[in-house]
Amino acid sequence: FVSSGTQLLSLVPAHGLWIDANFKENQLAHMRAGQPVTIVADVLPNHTFKGHVASLAPATGSRFSILPAENATGNFTKIVQRVPVRIALEGDGAKLDVLRPGLSVIVTVNEKSPR
């Protein structure tokens, strides 16, 4: 028997890998869907993966959080917001097979490319 609310399994897509990268709001001015991306994963640090910006979220990550920050005191401290950016990975093969959900990566967007 299992208690109510206990996680039994996680469904993970077998293909169509992507990365949800959280960029600071001041990094988004020239970022557009379609721009090329390079990715380095800690699991394979000597390999550069390729991808492209698939989409930018319509709001900051804090707007989607389960527990939004409340400011009951009335004091305001500016905090740089982060916006989720979906990165679609390109290519396939043995190298992509090492990537798993939750791994750390460094994403670099080529903003000089129009698309």
**What ranges do the domains of the chain cover?**
18-63+80-109
Closest by alpha carbon to 56, among 78, 79, 38, 30?
A: 30
What is the rounded average pLDDT of the residues 76-85?
Answer: 81
pTM equals 0.73
What is the rounded average pLDDT of the residues 93-115?
Answer: 84
* Residue predicted with more confidence, 105 or 15: 105
Q: Which class would CATH give 18-63+80-109? A: mainly beta
Confidence of residue 19 (pLDDT cuts 50, 70, 90): very high
SS (H, E, C) 30-98: CCCCCCEEEEEECCEEEEEEEEEEEEECCCCHHHHCCCCCCCCCCCCCCCCCEEEEEEEECCCCCCHHH
User: Does residue 115 carry a pLDDT above 80?
Assistant: no
Residue 51, judged by CB atoms within 10 A of its CB (0-12, 13-18, 19+), counts as: buried
What per-residue confidence (pLDDT) applies to 65?
57
What is the rounded average pLDDT of the residues 83-90?
Answer: 92
Q: Measure the CA dihedral 19/52/64/13, to 10°.
A: -40
Portion of the chain with pLDDT greater than 90, in percent: 43
